Amino acid sequence: MTPAPPSAPFATQRLDLAGLAERGRLRALAPRMGLDFASNDYLGFSTNPALAEAAQAALARGVAIGSGGSRLLRGNDPEHEALEAEAAAFFGGESALFLPTGFTANSALLATMPQREDMIFVDALIHASVHEGLRLSRADHRLVPHNDVDGFAEALKAWRKGGATGTPWIVVESLYSMDGDFAPLAELSALAGEHGAVLVVDEAHATGVFGPGGRGLLASLDDRGPNTITLHTCGKALGVEGALLVGPSVMREFLINRARGFIFSTAPSPLMAAVVREALRLCEGADATRADLLARVDYARAALSPFGAECHGSPILPLVLGGDVRTMAVATALQQRGFDVRGIRPPTVPEGTSRLRIVITGHVGTGDISALATALAEVL
């Protein structure tokens, strides 16, 4: 039998890209331009002079720009450890661990902490970084319908009835990045306590914006259980870079010893750790900035809801248009008018729900929001 001829190098990849383009799903990098209705810089901290001054002061006192190695080699800097101690105190945990990105933090946590006999119960709309951790995890997992507390309860009970003896894990986001809605954290926290579960809350989009001093939504609960792990990204409302996992001391120690995403990664920049420390101090005193942001969110609700934009009280207002090609055409038309609004397509969101992800950031005012509404009326 004559063997099949070998395919040309990269033929499969080129075919895949062509298919994405045909369906209106081909991604490309685009430069920043126009008014910022796309980033996660909710408080405008990325251009705050206080953070630039903190970076200059750190350099002046000899803080290194690069770490030079992993934390377990020579990359562990006093700035890392100072940040982790301050973050643990700030967010109310026994310990904290600083990682390069939120994606790395989520994937390392879920790939490492749950064990073979455990079960991970995950909200169906959870971030891709969690799915990456699930793919690498020793534990099995089950998806639960979005924000369905009864669904979590039923799944937990069914798992126990099947004779399971491990630890259940409940994994949610406090504020969902593509829908802009909130998790029912009080009910989920109570459910975790009832079933002896670990509650993992990704606070990426809530940190800085919600909770006392910007500590996130879980910090608002009076009865937050001890078996809780939170993720706080530093590159969104905090305006800097990296991510912090906050939880019991065993979490930090176990990840340092077992998490491949931590052990085999070069440590984050010590300079960035120093600036994150300042960002936390800035965040705690930013109540007026948060109030102003939420006032502009209310303004945007009134201005954009007539077009179908959904607003749950967060800075993220999705406008679901359905089709991929139409969504990207509308986004392009808005960008040409000076509004940086990005289209979001599957697999980031479910099939048939392509949308404009309109974000109220620290870089736009009520006049800009009104102008966007006028442009939407023209384009749609």
Which residues are catalytic, by number? 40, 127, 173, 177, 202, 205, 236
Buried b (16+ CB within 10 A) or exposed e, 14-40: eeeeeeeeeebbeeeeeeeeebbbbbb
What φ, ψ does residue 316 adopt, rounded to 5°?
A: -100, 115
- The answer to whether 108 touches 137, Cβ cutoff 8 Å, is no
Which pair of structure tokens corresponds to residue 32?
């920043």
Residue type present at position 81: E
- The answer to whether 78 touches 220, Cβ cutoff 8 Å, is no
Which alpha helices (H) appear in 230-284, and where do they start and end?
249-258, 260-263, 270-284
CA–CA gap between residue 328 and residue 347 (Å, rounded): 15
Structure token digits, residue 282: 């800035």
Q: Is 116 exposed, middle or buried (0-12, 13-18, 19+ CB in 10 A)?
A: exposed
E strands, 12-139, where?
35-36, 95-99, 119-123
Residue 14 in 3-state DSSP? Answer: helix
The answer to whether 212 and 14 are in contact (CB under 8 A) is no
| Sign of CA pseudo-dihedral 237, 187, 195, 168 | negative
The phi, psi pair for 174, rounded to 5°, reads: -75, -35
Question: Whose CA is closest to 316, among 204, 228, 165?
Answer: 204
DSSP output for 24-49: T---------SEESSSS-TT-GGG-H
